[in-house]
Amino acid sequence: MSVTSDAKPGEGLTTTQSPFIENAKKSGRTFIDQPYGLYSEANQETWRRLYARIRPYWEKYSNPKFMQGVENLMLDPDRIPRLEDVNDKLCALTAFKAKAVAGYVPAYIFFDCIRQRIFPTTITIRDGKVLDYLPEPDIFHDVAGHVPMHTDTRFADVLVRFGEVAREAALRAQAMSEGEERLHLVESNIKALARFFWFTVEFGLMKNPGSEWGVCAYGSGLLSSCGELEYCVTSPKVQRYPAQLEWVINQYFEIDHYQPLLFVVDSFDHLFGMVDELALWLHGGKLDNVSPGEPAINEDDLKSFLEAEIAE
Ligand SMILES: [Fe+2]
Protein backbone atom coordinates (compact mmCIF):
# COMPACT_ATOMS: atom_id res chain seq x y z
CA MET A 1 0.00 0.00 0.00
CA SER A 2 1.30 3.41 -0.88
CA VAL A 3 -0.08 6.05 1.47
CA THR A 4 1.21 9.28 2.89
CA SER A 5 2.70 8.82 6.35
CA ASP A 6 -0.18 10.53 8.14
CA ALA A 7 -2.96 8.60 6.33
CA LYS A 8 -4.70 6.07 8.56
CA PRO A 9 -5.82 2.67 7.23
CA GLY A 10 -9.58 2.66 6.74
CA GLU A 11 -9.87 6.46 7.03
CA GLY A 12 -11.96 6.42 3.88
CA LEU A 13 -11.68 7.40 0.23
CA THR A 14 -15.02 9.15 -0.03
CA THR A 15 -15.62 11.64 -2.85
CA THR A 16 -14.71 15.22 -1.77
CA GLN A 17 -13.93 14.01 1.79
CA SER A 18 -10.57 12.26 1.42
CA PRO A 19 -7.47 13.86 3.01
CA PHE A 20 -5.28 11.53 0.93
CA ILE A 21 -6.75 12.91 -2.31
CA GLU A 22 -6.62 16.51 -1.09
CA ASN A 23 -2.93 16.08 -0.23
CA ALA A 24 -2.21 14.53 -3.63
CA LYS A 25 -3.92 17.47 -5.35
CA LYS A 26 -2.05 20.01 -3.23
CA SER A 27 1.25 18.42 -4.12
CA GLY A 28 0.33 18.68 -7.82
CA ARG A 29 0.25 14.95 -8.47
CA THR A 30 -2.12 13.77 -11.18
CA PHE A 31 -1.29 10.08 -11.32
CA ILE A 32 -1.25 8.27 -8.00
CA ASP A 33 -1.42 4.76 -6.57
CA GLN A 34 -4.64 3.27 -5.30
CA PRO A 35 -4.04 3.16 -1.53
CA TYR A 36 -6.42 0.24 -1.11
CA GLY A 37 -6.06 0.06 2.68
CA LEU A 38 -7.62 3.50 3.02
CA TYR A 39 -11.07 2.34 1.91
CA SER A 40 -13.40 2.26 4.91
CA GLU A 41 -16.00 -0.42 5.58
CA ALA A 42 -18.60 2.24 4.72
CA ASN A 43 -16.89 2.68 1.30
CA GLN A 44 -17.03 -1.09 0.71
CA GLU A 45 -20.69 -1.13 1.71
CA THR A 46 -21.40 1.67 -0.78
CA TRP A 47 -19.83 -0.41 -3.58
CA ARG A 48 -21.88 -3.47 -2.53
CA ARG A 49 -25.12 -1.50 -2.57
CA LEU A 50 -24.38 0.21 -5.89
CA TYR A 51 -23.44 -3.06 -7.56
CA ALA A 52 -26.41 -5.03 -6.18
CA ARG A 53 -28.79 -2.27 -7.20
CA ILE A 54 -27.59 -1.85 -10.78
CA ARG A 55 -26.91 -5.44 -11.80
CA PRO A 56 -30.56 -6.24 -12.82
CA TYR A 57 -30.64 -3.00 -14.88
CA TRP A 58 -27.43 -3.98 -16.69
CA GLU A 59 -29.01 -7.30 -17.59
CA LYS A 60 -32.05 -5.58 -19.10
CA TYR A 61 -30.68 -2.46 -20.73
CA SER A 62 -26.94 -2.71 -21.45
CA ASN A 63 -25.09 -3.62 -24.60
CA PRO A 64 -24.14 -7.33 -24.61
CA LYS A 65 -20.43 -6.38 -24.98
CA PHE A 66 -20.69 -4.55 -21.67
CA MET A 67 -22.04 -7.59 -19.81
CA GLN A 68 -19.33 -9.69 -21.41
CA GLY A 69 -16.81 -7.16 -20.09
CA VAL A 70 -18.22 -7.36 -16.56
CA GLU A 71 -17.80 -11.15 -16.70
CA ASN A 72 -14.33 -10.95 -18.24
CA LEU A 73 -13.10 -8.57 -15.55
CA MET A 74 -14.69 -10.72 -12.82
CA LEU A 75 -15.74 -7.56 -10.98
CA ASP A 76 -16.42 -8.43 -7.35
CA PRO A 77 -19.98 -7.49 -6.31
CA ASP A 78 -18.85 -7.21 -2.69
CA ARG A 79 -15.53 -5.35 -2.73
CA ILE A 80 -14.18 -2.26 -4.44
CA PRO A 81 -11.90 -3.54 -7.21
CA ARG A 82 -8.15 -3.30 -6.95
CA LEU A 83 -6.96 -1.67 -10.18
CA GLU A 84 -4.06 -4.09 -10.46
CA ASP A 85 -6.51 -7.04 -10.52
CA VAL A 86 -8.70 -5.27 -13.08
CA ASN A 87 -5.64 -4.55 -15.22
CA ASP A 88 -4.46 -8.16 -15.16
CA LYS A 89 -7.65 -9.15 -16.98
CA LEU A 90 -8.09 -5.99 -19.06
CA CYS A 91 -4.55 -5.72 -20.34
CA ALA A 92 -4.61 -9.29 -21.64
CA LEU A 93 -7.70 -8.50 -23.73
CA THR A 94 -7.09 -5.07 -25.27
CA ALA A 95 -3.86 -3.72 -23.69
CA PHE A 96 -5.93 -1.03 -21.93
CA LYS A 97 -4.99 -0.16 -18.35
CA ALA A 98 -6.82 1.76 -15.63
CA LYS A 99 -4.47 4.23 -13.95
CA ALA A 100 -5.43 5.98 -10.71
CA VAL A 101 -5.72 9.78 -10.74
CA ALA A 102 -6.23 12.32 -7.95
CA GLY A 103 -8.94 14.28 -9.76
CA TYR A 104 -9.67 16.27 -12.88
CA VAL A 105 -7.34 15.64 -15.81
CA PRO A 106 -7.17 18.43 -18.43
CA ALA A 107 -8.77 17.51 -21.74
CA TYR A 108 -5.67 16.90 -23.88
CA ILE A 109 -3.91 14.84 -21.22
CA PHE A 110 -7.05 12.73 -20.76
CA PHE A 111 -7.55 12.14 -24.50
CA ASP A 112 -3.86 11.42 -25.05
CA CYS A 113 -3.87 8.84 -22.25
CA ILE A 114 -6.73 7.10 -24.04
CA ARG A 115 -4.71 7.13 -27.25
CA GLN A 116 -2.05 5.23 -25.33
CA ARG A 117 -4.63 2.82 -23.91
CA ILE A 118 -4.40 4.31 -20.44
CA PHE A 119 -7.65 5.21 -18.73
CA PRO A 120 -7.33 7.90 -16.02
CA THR A 121 -9.41 6.38 -13.23
CA THR A 122 -10.96 7.96 -10.15
CA ILE A 123 -10.38 5.89 -7.02
CA THR A 124 -12.71 7.63 -4.56
CA ILE A 125 -16.27 6.41 -4.08
CA ARG A 126 -19.42 8.49 -3.53
CA ASP A 127 -20.84 9.04 -0.05
CA GLY A 128 -23.18 6.14 0.74
CA LYS A 129 -25.62 8.52 2.43
CA VAL A 130 -26.48 10.04 -0.96
CA LEU A 131 -26.12 7.13 -3.34
CA ASP A 132 -27.47 8.94 -6.40
CA TYR A 133 -25.68 12.23 -5.90
CA LEU A 134 -22.45 12.39 -7.85
CA PRO A 135 -20.57 15.70 -7.57
CA GLU A 136 -17.75 14.24 -9.69
CA PRO A 137 -16.90 10.85 -11.24
CA ASP A 138 -16.10 8.08 -8.77
CA ILE A 139 -14.67 4.57 -8.96
CA PHE A 140 -18.13 3.11 -9.53
CA HIS A 141 -18.65 5.32 -12.58
CA ASP A 142 -15.12 4.74 -13.89
CA VAL A 143 -14.57 1.04 -13.15
CA ALA A 144 -18.12 -0.34 -13.23
CA GLY A 145 -19.33 2.08 -15.95
CA HIS A 146 -16.36 2.61 -18.29
CA VAL A 147 -13.84 -0.19 -17.88
CA PRO A 148 -16.04 -3.17 -18.90
CA MET A 149 -16.43 -1.52 -22.33
CA HIS A 150 -12.63 -1.32 -22.65
CA THR A 151 -12.48 -5.13 -22.81
CA ASP A 152 -14.08 -5.06 -26.28
CA THR A 153 -11.48 -4.81 -29.03
CA ARG A 154 -13.58 -2.70 -31.41
CA PHE A 155 -14.65 -0.26 -28.72
CA ALA A 156 -11.03 -0.02 -27.54
CA ASP A 157 -10.07 0.84 -31.15
CA VAL A 158 -12.68 3.62 -31.14
CA LEU A 159 -11.13 5.16 -28.02
CA VAL A 160 -7.60 4.99 -29.43
CA ARG A 161 -8.71 6.53 -32.73
CA PHE A 162 -10.49 9.28 -30.83
CA GLY A 163 -7.28 9.98 -28.90
CA GLU A 164 -5.44 10.24 -32.23
CA VAL A 165 -7.92 12.84 -33.45
CA ALA A 166 -7.30 14.88 -30.27
CA ARG A 167 -3.56 14.66 -30.95
CA GLU A 168 -4.09 15.80 -34.55
CA ALA A 169 -6.15 18.74 -33.22
CA ALA A 170 -3.33 19.76 -30.86
CA LEU A 171 -0.69 19.50 -33.60
CA ARG A 172 -2.84 21.54 -35.97
CA ALA A 173 -3.45 24.24 -33.34
CA GLN A 174 0.20 24.45 -32.39
CA ALA A 175 1.19 24.93 -36.03
CA MET A 176 -0.91 28.12 -36.23
CA SER A 177 0.26 31.59 -35.27
CA GLU A 178 -0.74 32.76 -31.80
CA GLY A 179 -3.70 35.08 -31.31
CA GLU A 180 -7.42 35.40 -30.72
CA GLU A 181 -8.33 33.45 -33.83
CA ARG A 182 -6.29 30.45 -32.75
CA LEU A 183 -7.82 30.56 -29.27
CA HIS A 184 -11.32 30.57 -30.73
CA LEU A 185 -10.45 27.66 -33.01
CA VAL A 186 -8.93 25.53 -30.24
CA GLU A 187 -11.88 26.22 -27.97
CA SER A 188 -14.24 25.18 -30.74
CA ASN A 189 -12.23 22.03 -31.50
CA ILE A 190 -12.20 20.98 -27.84
CA LYS A 191 -15.94 21.66 -27.58
CA ALA A 192 -16.56 19.45 -30.61
CA LEU A 193 -14.38 16.66 -29.18
CA ALA A 194 -16.00 16.93 -25.73
CA ARG A 195 -19.50 16.79 -27.24
CA PHE A 196 -18.58 13.78 -29.35
CA PHE A 197 -17.15 12.01 -26.29
CA TRP A 198 -20.20 12.92 -24.21
CA PHE A 199 -22.83 11.70 -26.68
CA THR A 200 -20.98 8.46 -27.44
CA VAL A 201 -18.56 7.16 -24.78
CA GLU A 202 -20.49 8.71 -21.89
CA PHE A 203 -24.13 8.67 -23.04
CA GLY A 204 -24.27 6.58 -26.19
CA LEU A 205 -27.14 4.31 -27.18
CA MET A 206 -26.92 1.51 -29.74
CA LYS A 207 -29.55 -0.15 -31.89
CA ASN A 208 -30.77 -3.40 -30.40
CA PRO A 209 -33.45 -4.79 -32.70
CA GLY A 210 -33.89 -7.89 -30.53
CA SER A 211 -35.15 -5.94 -27.54
CA GLU A 212 -38.55 -4.57 -26.70
CA TRP A 213 -37.26 -1.00 -26.89
CA GLY A 214 -35.01 -1.30 -29.95
CA VAL A 215 -31.99 0.26 -28.20
CA CYS A 216 -29.48 -0.57 -25.48
CA ALA A 217 -26.91 1.53 -23.64
CA TYR A 218 -23.13 1.50 -24.09
CA GLY A 219 -22.33 4.95 -22.61
CA SER A 220 -20.75 4.86 -19.17
CA GLY A 221 -22.77 7.71 -17.67
CA LEU A 222 -25.84 5.60 -18.38
CA LEU A 223 -24.31 2.30 -17.28
CA SER A 224 -23.33 3.67 -13.87
CA SER A 225 -26.74 5.13 -12.97
CA CYS A 226 -29.59 2.64 -12.54
CA GLY A 227 -32.18 5.43 -12.64
CA GLU A 228 -30.94 6.90 -15.90
CA LEU A 229 -30.16 3.48 -17.41
CA GLU A 230 -33.80 2.50 -17.30
CA TYR A 231 -34.98 6.00 -18.24
CA CYS A 232 -32.71 6.35 -21.27
CA VAL A 233 -33.93 3.11 -22.83
CA THR A 234 -37.62 3.09 -21.85
CA SER A 235 -38.87 6.64 -21.24
CA PRO A 236 -41.03 8.24 -23.94
CA LYS A 237 -39.65 11.59 -22.77
CA VAL A 238 -36.18 10.88 -24.19
CA GLN A 239 -35.55 11.92 -27.79
CA ARG A 240 -33.48 9.20 -29.44
CA TYR A 241 -32.07 9.98 -32.88
CA PRO A 242 -29.70 8.21 -35.26
CA ALA A 243 -26.19 9.53 -34.58
CA GLN A 244 -25.22 12.25 -37.07
CA LEU A 245 -21.86 13.91 -36.71
CA GLU A 246 -23.05 17.40 -37.67
CA TRP A 247 -25.65 17.30 -34.95
CA VAL A 248 -23.50 15.69 -32.24
CA ILE A 249 -20.71 18.28 -32.46
CA ASN A 250 -23.13 21.21 -32.41
CA GLN A 251 -25.42 19.98 -29.62
CA TYR A 252 -24.89 21.47 -26.16
CA PHE A 253 -25.43 19.31 -23.10
CA GLU A 254 -26.03 19.78 -19.38
CA ILE A 255 -24.68 17.42 -16.77
CA ASP A 256 -27.00 17.96 -13.81
CA HIS A 257 -30.10 16.08 -14.95
CA TYR A 258 -31.12 13.07 -17.02
CA GLN A 259 -30.31 13.61 -20.68
CA PRO A 260 -33.35 14.60 -22.77
CA LEU A 261 -31.65 13.88 -26.11
CA LEU A 262 -29.48 10.89 -27.01
CA PHE A 263 -27.90 9.56 -30.19
CA VAL A 264 -28.09 5.98 -31.41
CA VAL A 265 -25.28 4.24 -33.32
CA ASP A 266 -25.75 1.06 -35.35
CA SER A 267 -22.63 -0.70 -34.07
CA PHE A 268 -19.08 -0.06 -32.87
CA ASP A 269 -17.96 -0.26 -36.51
CA HIS A 270 -20.36 2.59 -37.21
CA LEU A 271 -18.95 4.52 -34.25
CA PHE A 272 -15.39 3.93 -35.46
CA GLY A 273 -16.39 5.31 -38.86
CA MET A 274 -17.77 8.41 -37.14
CA VAL A 275 -14.42 9.01 -35.42
CA ASP A 276 -12.66 8.71 -38.77
CA GLU A 277 -15.10 11.24 -40.17
CA LEU A 278 -14.40 13.49 -37.18
CA ALA A 279 -10.72 13.49 -38.20
CA LEU A 280 -11.61 14.51 -41.75
CA TRP A 281 -13.82 17.30 -40.46
CA LEU A 282 -11.06 18.52 -38.15
CA HIS A 283 -8.63 18.86 -41.03
CA GLY A 284 -11.29 20.38 -43.26
CA GLY A 285 -11.95 23.12 -40.65
CA LYS A 286 -15.47 21.92 -39.87
CA LEU A 287 -14.79 21.80 -36.12
CA ASP A 288 -13.40 25.36 -35.99
CA ASN A 289 -16.66 27.18 -35.40
CA VAL A 290 -19.18 24.86 -33.74
CA SER A 291 -22.28 26.27 -32.06
CA PRO A 292 -21.70 28.01 -28.73
CA GLY A 293 -22.95 26.68 -25.40
CA GLU A 294 -22.04 23.87 -23.06
CA PRO A 295 -19.60 22.49 -22.27
CA ALA A 296 -17.54 25.44 -21.10
CA ILE A 297 -13.89 24.97 -21.98
CA ASN A 298 -11.65 26.11 -19.14
CA GLU A 299 -8.18 27.60 -19.18
CA ASP A 300 -6.51 24.30 -18.22
CA ASP A 301 -8.19 22.49 -21.11
CA LEU A 302 -7.06 25.16 -23.59
CA LYS A 303 -3.52 25.16 -22.24
CA SER A 304 -3.40 21.37 -22.32
CA PHE A 305 -3.89 21.46 -26.11
CA LEU A 306 -1.70 24.49 -26.82
CA GLU A 307 1.20 23.57 -24.57
CA ALA A 308 1.31 19.80 -24.94
CA GLU A 309 4.72 18.49 -25.91
CA ILE A 310 3.93 16.27 -28.83
CA ALA A 311 6.45 14.12 -30.63
CA GLU A 312 5.76 14.07 -34.38
FE1 LIG B 1 -17.11 9.10 -17.57
pLDDT of the chain, 312 residues: tens digit per residue: 444 557 788 889 999 999 999 999 999 999 999 999 999 999 999 999 999 999 999 999 999 999 999 999 999 999 999 999 999 999 999 999 999 999 999 999 999 999 999 999 999 999 999 888 777 899 999 999 999 999 999 999 999 999 999 999 999 999 999 999 999 999 999 999 999 999 999 999 999 998 999 999 999 999 999 999 999 999 999 999 999 999 999 999 988 899 999 999 999 999 999 999 999 999 999 999 999 999 999 999 999 999 999 876
Query: Is residue 129 exposed (0-12), middle (13-18) or buried (19+ Cβ within 10 Å)?
Result: exposed
Tell me how far apart the alpha carbons of residues 263 and 34 are, in angstroms, rounded to a whole number: 35
Domain ranges in the chain are 19-306
220: CA distance to ligand 1 center in Å?
6
178: CA distance to ligand 1 center in Å?
32
Residue whose C-alpha is closest to residue 126's, from 145, 107, 113, 108? 145
Please provide the DSSP assignment of the chain as one string.
----TTPPTTS--BTT--HHHHHHHHTT--B----GGG--HHHHHHHHHHHHHHHHHHHHHB-HHHHHHHHHHT--SSSPPPHHHHHHHHHHHHS-EEEEESS---HHHHHHHHHTTEEEEE--B--GGGTT--SS--HIIIIIIIGGGGGSHHHHHHHHHHHHHHHHHHHHHHTSPPSHHHHHHHHHHHHHHHHHHIIIIIT-EEE-TTSSSSEEE--HHHHT-HHHHHHHHH-TTSEEEE--HHHHTT----SSS--SEEEEES-HHHHHHHHHHHHHHHHTTTTTT----SSPPPHHHHHHHHS-----
CATH topology of domain 19-306: Phenylalanine Hydroxylase (1.10.800)
145: CA distance to ligand 1 center in Å?
8
138: CA distance to ligand 1 center in Å?
9
Using only C-alpha atoms, the chain has a radius of gyration, in whole angstroms, of 19
155: CA distance to ligand 1 center in Å?
15
137: CA distance to ligand 1 center in Å?
7
59: CA distance to ligand 1 center in Å?
20
pTM of the model: 0.95
